[in-house]
Amino acid sequence: MKKLSQKVVKLLNKKRLKISLAESCTGGLLSSKITSISGSSKVFTLGLVTYSDQSKIKILKVSKNIIKKYGSVSYETCFSMVKNLNKLSKTDISVSITGIAGPKGGLKNKPVGLVFIGIKKKNKTLVRKYLFKARKRTLIQRASVNKALHLILSFLK
């Protein structure tokens, strides 16, 4: 994953772009992977761990109604997180992650391993849904970060 993080930081630097992140189930792991790379201070602007619904509502201005209707692990919440993070940070690229890392907390319609990753660059916003089959919390978190890094790279090309 270090090589992937290095690629992201290098490409962001080359293109002179700034990035911001809002993480929930990954608890800052994506921010950590990016900031562990030398030169990341030129591209990394803001990293938020909005773990609770309250922080998503208060800091990221996700509507209480969205969380109430769709849940904090949903396409709608992830979309709102990335859109509002972008307004807040004013960065070129914004990324949001929300999911259920487990091992408990899953439901039939929202199982452990369900993760949404949102990315916004200029007028293009994309939210992807993933279902990681791993049962270990750390593996789900790492898989989420890995997918997010790949998504960022695809947006940079």
Q: Any idea where the domains of the chain sit in the sequence?
A: 2-156
Which element (helix H / strand E) includes 21?
strand 19-23
Residue 47: predicted pLDDT? 98
Residue 107: predicted pLDDT? 86
Residue 53: predicted pLDDT? 97
pLDDT digits (tens, 9 = 90+) for 63-79: 999 999 999 999 999 99
Lookup result for tokens 């992201």: 8
Residue 59: predicted pLDDT? 97
Which element (helix H / strand E) includes 79?
helix 75-89
Query: Quick one: pLDDT band at residue 135, thresholds 50, 70, 90?
Result: confident
Residue 104: predicted pLDDT? 86
Return the higher-pLDDT residue of 95 and 108. Answer: 95
State mean pLDDT over 17-35. Answer: 98
Any idea which fold 2-156 has? Maf protein (3.90.950)
pLDDT of 1 > 80? The answer is no
Q: Which two tokens stand for residue 10?
A: 């290098």
Residue 106: predicted pLDDT? 85
Q: Following CA atoms 57, 61, 64, 67 in sequence, which dihedral angle do they give, to the nearest 10 degrees?
A: -80
Q: How far apart are CA 122 and CA 87, in angstroms?
A: 11
Q: How far is CA 101 from the centre of its chain?
A: 13
Q: How far apart are CA 34 and CA 155, in angstroms?
A: 16
